[in-house]
A and B are shown apart, each in its own frame.
Chain A
């Protein structure tokens, strides 16, 4: 499903963020990527969404070879990958429903399709009844749920979540993780970055550790011990 072969990323001329990363992720997997701040976790995910371009190495997702990707195909790539950000990136002047609907609008879904789909997704993330709320009226945990709803509303095969719990207190953080597990059970590949050790320990999933831009360990379900 996701294949990285000796992928490196150098910002500018000097800053090496990733150094010959090789990683293979199967369909339906839930992979946690851990590492201290500045290790290169965000960079890794940004390469997958083509926010950044790898300096060298090969990236293949499904049947898409990133070297052959043309600029004008990037929007279509992004429609296949759901993204959740640490800072939510919601549109402040749109309410909950509109924020989620937005992801469907830009791909040309009709209002009817949108009215049908959005409530179901809001249900999945536990935001039923809060459709009319503005982002400013929501707690951090609720905002992140809106962001997740927006990321999954197009039913992507892959969901990448970059420290989605980074700004949340532990109880809300845990709610978010549960939602991501649920989404994974529905058949979506999930890549989650975090530096929260507790989440890693409790989740019992495959754990990839990054340090200074290199993968220093890659442990399957249950093997990882901090």
Chain B
């Protein structure tokens, strides 16, 4: 059968369905507001979870970068032994950075660090130039990798080479580990909250569309009889539900950016937060975050309305 499928007719129809959907938004104002409020909370939590996650993992990475394993060398090793160790450490995939601190370097650092403590410097002078051992300072890709680096250094073949191993400042490591587990907890808790609120908004939108279908039952029957296609009938409902997503998505982005801009500047001067704050306040990130949140809202809305239509819009028997 011949169908009129010109682009112009199609565009006019899309515009008409969009307008119809927006009009429906106001027909049932209170339900619309309820649907949008819950969806706003859901999308807000969702977006905030992402922000929180990026912030804490950036902070943890930044803190971990300052953490180093120091591998102190025996005084009497030859170059061959030293290079064997260096090769082993440098070729490990867990090593982010490797630095050799010679005895002279160690001494220079010591002097630099304790410039003001004359008694200590005097002590060092008395013990002799050779008193501080040479060492390798290894930094890792992530917190978990320190153990693996340690494992290399404690291999038997290096027994003669290595005097001792210290893991940076151990208290720092404990703090970071605690932060990491807190991050994991907060992330999963807020993800769970986001899921719960998403389910609630699916239910509310489902119900809103169900009621809209019932109140327009007669109209839908008439539309069918005078030749409307199923998608023409579904269109306004999908648009209506998607509009909930657009509006609450935009509000959610606005709210989360409100939080970012009120807290961010206060902590952005700390090394571990600076990059994150800059990242989130970049124009491209703002744009991307807005689009992603709105699209998530549209998906939730459209999905809920399709669900309601599948159940209540009897378009099967045409």
Query: Which residues of chain B are within 8 angstroms of A185 by Cβ–Cβ distance?
Result: none
Q: Mark B227-256, 1 if CB is under 8 A from A, else 0.
A: 111101000000000000000000000000
Distance between Cα atoms of A75 and B243 in the complex (Å): 27
Binding-face segment, A18-26, A102-110, A206-214: A102-110
B225 in contact with A108 (CB, 8 Å): no
Distance between Cα atoms of A102 and B20 in the complex (Å): 12
Distance between Cα atoms of A147 and B221 in the complex (Å): 15
Residue of B3, B219, B224, B227 with highest tally of chain A CB at under 10 A: B227
A71 in contact with B12 (CB, 8 Å): no
B9 in contact with A83 (CB, 8 Å): no
Cβ of A100 to closest chain B Cβ, rounded Å: 11
Distance between Cα atoms of A78 and B4 in the complex (Å): 13
Does B261 interact with chain A (Cβ within 8 Å)? no
- B window 1-50: CB within 8 A of A: 1-4, 8-10, 12-13, 16
Choose one: A69, A78, A110; the contact of B227 (CB below 8 Å). Answer: A78
Query: Which residues of chain A are within 8 angstroms of B223 by Cβ–Cβ distance?
Result: 102, 106
Query: Which residues of chain A are within 8 angstroms of B8 by Cβ–Cβ distance?
Result: 108, 110
Does B270 interact with chain A (Cβ within 8 Å)? no
Does A77 interact with chain B (Cβ within 8 Å)? yes
Cβ of B4 to closest chain A Cβ, rounded Å: 7
Distance between Cα atoms of A90 and B8 in the complex (Å): 28
**Looking across the interface, which residue of chain A has its beta carbon closest to that of B14?**
A108
Does A58 interact with chain B (Cβ within 8 Å)? no
Cβ of B210 to closest chain A Cβ, rounded Å: 20
Cβ of B23 to closest chain A Cβ, rounded Å: 11
Cβ of A68 to closest chain B Cβ, rounded Å: 9
Does B127 interact with chain A (Cβ within 8 Å)? no
Question: What count of chain A residues pass the 8 Å CB interface test?
Answer: 29
Choose one: B10, B218, B227, B318; the contact of A106 (CB below 8 Å). Answer: B227
Query: Which residues of chain B are within 8 angstroms of A77 by Cβ–Cβ distance?
Result: 1, 227
B226 in contact with A78 (CB, 8 Å): yes
B13 in contact with A51 (CB, 8 Å): no
**Looking across the interface, which residue of chain B has its beta carbon closest to that of A51?**
B225
Query: Which residues of chain A are within 8 angstroms of B221 by Cβ–Cβ distance?
Result: 89
Query: Which residues of chain A are within 8 angstroms of B222 by Cβ–Cβ distance?
Result: 89-91
B318 in contact with A108 (CB, 8 Å): no
Q: List 29 A-B contacts (CB under 8 A).
A: A64-B1, A71-B318, A75-B224, A75-B227, A75-B228, A75-B230, A75-B318, A76-B2, A77-B1, A78-B225, A78-B227, A83-B225, A83-B226, A89-B221, A90-B222, A91-B222, A92-B218, A102-B223, A106-B223, A106-B226, A106-B227, A106-B228, A107-B227, A108-B8, A108-B9, A108-B10, A108-B16, A109-B9, A109-B12
